[in-house]
Amino acid sequence: MYNNYKNVLQVGPDFRGLTGGGIESVIKTYTENFPGILFLGSYSEGSKLHEIAYTGKFFFSFIRYMIVKRDIKIVHIHAASDMSFIRKSITMLIARLFGKKTIMHMHGSTFQPFYAKAGIFRSVIRGILNRNDLVICLSPQWLDFFSRLVPATKLKILNNPVPAPATTISRHRNDVLNFLFLGRLGNRKGVFDLVKAISLLPPELRRSVRLTIGGNGEVQKLQDLIKSLSVDDCVTYAGWVDGKLKAELLAAADVYILPSYNEGLPVSILEAMAYGLPVISTPIGGIPEVVKEGVNGFLVEPGNTQQIADRIGKMINSPELAAEMGKASLQTVKPFMADSVFPELDTIYASLLTK
The answer to whether residue 170 scores a pLDDT higher than 70 is no
Residue 171 covered by a domain: no
State the Cα–Cα distance between residues 29 and 48, nearest whole angstrom: 28
List, for residues 107-158, the tens digit of each pLDDT value: 877 899 999 999 999 999 999 999 999 999 988 889 999 999 999 999 999 9
Task: Find the mean pLDDT for residues 298-325.
Answer: 94
Do 213 and 115 fall into the same domain? no
pLDDT surpasses 80 at 2? no
Measured distance CA(322)–CA(292) in Å, rounded = 13
pLDDT surpassing 80 at residue 166:
no
**Pair (143, 253) in one structural domain:** no
Amino acid at 195: V
For the chain, what percent of residues have pLDDT higher than 90?
A: 69
3-state secondary structure of 351: helix
Describe the chain by its helix, strand, coil percentages, rounded to 5: 50, 15, 35
Strand 297-299, strand 235-237: pairing: unpaired
Across 43-69, average pLDDT:
91
Whether residue 146 sits in one domain with residue 292? no
Identify whether 167 is part of a domain. no
Residue 201's CATH number: 3.40.50.2000
| Residue numbers of the domain that contains 20 | 4-161+337-353
In a domain, 45, yes or no: yes
Q: 91 with 9, same domain?
A: yes
Identify the burial level of 73 via C-beta atoms within 10 angstroms of its C-beta, where 0-12 means exposed, 13-18 middle and 19 or more buried.
Answer: middle
Residue 136, in any domain of the structure: yes
How many separate domains does the chain show?
Answer: 2
What is the value of pTM for the model shown?
0.81
Q: What is the mean pLDDT of the chain?
A: 91
